[in-house]
Amino acid sequence: MNPGGRLGYLGGPMPGRPDPGRRRVIAMAVMVSVALLTIVCQLWYLQVLEGGRFQEASDKNRIRVRPIAAPRGILFDRNGLPLVDNRPAFTLSLIPRELDRDPVQRDVTLGRLASLMQIPFADLQDAVAKVSPDSILPVRVRRGLSMDDVAKVEEWKLELPGVIVEVEPQRAYPNSRFAAHLLGYVREASDEQLKGGRYRRGDMVGQTGLERLLDEFLRGKDGGERIEVDAMGRQIRLVQSTEPHPGAQVITTVDRRVQEVAEKAMEGKAGAIVVMDPRNGDVLAMVSTPSFEIDRFTGTIDRNAWLRVMQDPNHPLLNRTIQSMYPPGSVFKMVVAAAGLQEGSLTPSDRVFCNGEFHLGNWTFRDWKKEGHGSVDLMKGIRDSCDVYFYNAGLKVGAPAIAKWALAFGFGAPTGIEFGSEKPGLIPQPKMSKKGKPMSWHAGETVNMSIGQGQVLVTPMQVARMMAAIANGGVLWKPRLVQRIERPEKGVVWGDAGSVTGHVDLSPMVLAFLRQSLWAVVNDGGTGVAARIPGLDIAGKTGTAQTVANSKSEKGQDHAWFAAFAPVKDPEVVVVVLVQGGGHGGSTAAPIARQIFNTIFFEKVAFAAFGG
């Protein structure tokens, strides 16, 4: 032993003395043996004592894990009416583990199911091939079964081992095409989305619109049940269950009534409507037509229906309020007028004689009114949408100033609505030389720009924001679609108080003049007289935009615009209507806007009585 026993064993044991290091090694060996023995005991417990129980769990038809899908959160309009709801729907599913192990027998079952339900056999095989044959989680084959289908499957149950009918909550819409672009559709997670690892196969995921934007809130947490079933697949006993947690409720800014009226007004037409509250940027309605049958997209859509929509030359999936760019036509004259007045290059008393034609070098630009408007001042120019007046005004103001103010009004940049691929629009800007003169820019381009033609492109949402800015004194609001998101147990989990993205620095005099002119458009024999409602002061601007491709064809190919707000004194609502190929803004778009104003301001009381 070492002196005092303080040294370690590293000198080696003294010959003929006991070896303490050896004792310790043996102690370690004993500890490891005890650990191994514990493991053997646990094995004994699992395999012999509990073995029977696990044997059952392992056997095919005994225990089934049945996921209980959590209902998606409900989207409400600003008055508490549901925009989309859930209803129970039947889903046909396969449980891979309960299908026959023998591929031939399995294919017999799948073949039987295919002919019974009119599902392509290859689709069923694909569905099974995508998952492990040991999986006990159901593979959804078809959603939204009819009662007849359910009866058929139940009747053939014994011949269809591994085939079950589940009840799942499914999206239900007020009508087939209701707010299709706004809400967006919900479908099973695609292979692409599964790669991200956030979803499990068969999860329902919002694919477009608000459903996609708010998916993480709307998705609940699925629950599950372990049930014991007999050979017939009937439940014997509930082993254990976890409650599903439904998704959060979303309170949007949309007014369902306005949305419905706007959609109805656009029936059979292609185009877009945006209804906005100029006081806070709330979007009351957002319509894009042609629309698609949102309820048919929900769940599992069959290939052909999908292809039909995808290949439709009218692009029904396109949300025309933000994803499509149009020449603004005469609506853009507001920008030219504002720029001229604010920069001082234009005064309300400037007069131009309009004989229906305007000459620039060898070029002739025509007014929409062949015989001309006679002597025109700025207010009359806006009221009657005199093109010749604005050709002159545009040259006076100059392209750089027009572009500057167009950008100030929020054109040429996304509105920031955070809603699917928004298009920025386009405001052409002349490159400036060192002397401050435009380079490689033809005066004709300025002339075209003055009436919102040429390269100028805008989205209906941008036009709505511009009108809101004129109405509210120059504030550019970020369009708001969602007020708040609530969870039943937690209260408000997300809120948006609205945000200002910019100011248009126009003097109050300029704004007052613009509002006065816009009022005259509707109420003083201007181009927007079709929107007039006695008892309501509506201010608006018509636009008839020629499209480049169609400039030589008939007038019916022009886009009809009408952008308006009301009441003039204290504006509450902005309405922008665009009808593709609608012809004159005054005759096509203005009456639609009138209908919407009428609903908002004169059916309010009746509605409140009904809704209250």
Partner 1 sequence: MVGIDRRLLQNVDWPLLGATLALVALSATTLATLNVGRAGGGVALRQIFWFGLGLVALLVVASIDYRRLVRVAPLFYLTGLGVLVAVFLLGRTVSGARRWLLIGPISVQPSELFKLCFVLMVVWFLSTRWAQPVGKTVLLAAAPLALVPAVLIVKQPDLGTALLLFPVLIALLVAAGIRLRILGGLVLMGLAAAPVAWLALKDYQRDRILVFLDPLRDPLGRAYNVIQAKIAIGSGQLLGKGVAGATQSRLAFLPELLTCYALLLLRGFDIAASTREPVGRLVAVGVTALVSTQVLVNVSMVVGLIPVVGIPLPFMSYGGSSMVVSMMALGLLLSVRMRQFQ
Chain positions contacting partner 1, by CB under 8 A: 6-13, 19-22, 24-26, 28-29, 32-33, 35-36, 38-40, 42-43, 46-48, 50-51, 53-55, 57-59, 65, 67, 133-134, 137, 222, 224, 226, 240, 242
* Bridging pattern class, strands 139-145 and 82-94: antiparallel
Nearer to partner 1, 133 or 488 (CB): 133
Nearer to partner 1, 43 or 439 (CB): 43
Nearer to partner 1, 36 or 151 (CB): 36
- Least gap, CB of 20 to partner 1 (angstroms): 7
| Separation between Cα atoms, residue 436 and residue 438, nearest integer Å | 7
Which residue, among 553, 538, 545, has the nearest Cα to 579 in the 3D structure? 545
Nearer to partner 1, 51 or 348 (CB): 51
Nearer to partner 1, 242 or 507 (CB): 242
- Least gap, CB of 71 to partner 1 (angstroms): 18
Nearer to partner 1, 25 or 548 (CB): 25
Instruction: Look at residue 243 and give its three-state secondary structure.
Output: coil
Which residue, among 189, 188, 135, has the nearest Cα to 162 in the 3D structure? 135
Nearer to partner 1, 37 or 122 (CB): 37
- Least gap, CB of 127 to partner 1 (angstroms): 18
**Which residue reads 């949402």 in tokens?**
461
Buried b (16+ CB within 10 A) or exposed e, 179-189: bbbbbbbbbbb
CA dihedral defined by 303, 306, 310, 311, rounded to 10 degrees?
A: 60
| 126: number of Cβ within 10 Å | 10
User: Which amino acid makes up residue 171?
Assistant: R
Nearer to partner 1, 242 or 314 (CB): 242
- Least gap, CB of 192 to partner 1 (angstroms): 19
The C-alpha angle with vertex 448 and arms to 444 and 454, in degrees rounded to 5, equals 110
CA dihedral defined by 330, 400, 441, 326, rounded to 10 degrees?
A: -30
- Least gap, CB of 63 to partner 1 (angstroms): 9
| 572: number of Cβ within 10 Å | 14
Contact between 91 and 300 under an 8 Å Cβ cutoff? The reply is: no
- Least gap, CB of 15 to partner 1 (angstroms): 9
Consecutive H or E run containing 283: strand 283-289
* Angstrom distances, CA of residue 599 to CA of 282, 470, 602: 17, 23, 6
CA dihedral defined by 519, 524, 525, 528, rounded to 10 degrees?
A: 10
- Least gap, CB of 43 to partner 1 (angstroms): 6
- Least gap, CB of 489 to partner 1 (angstroms): 19
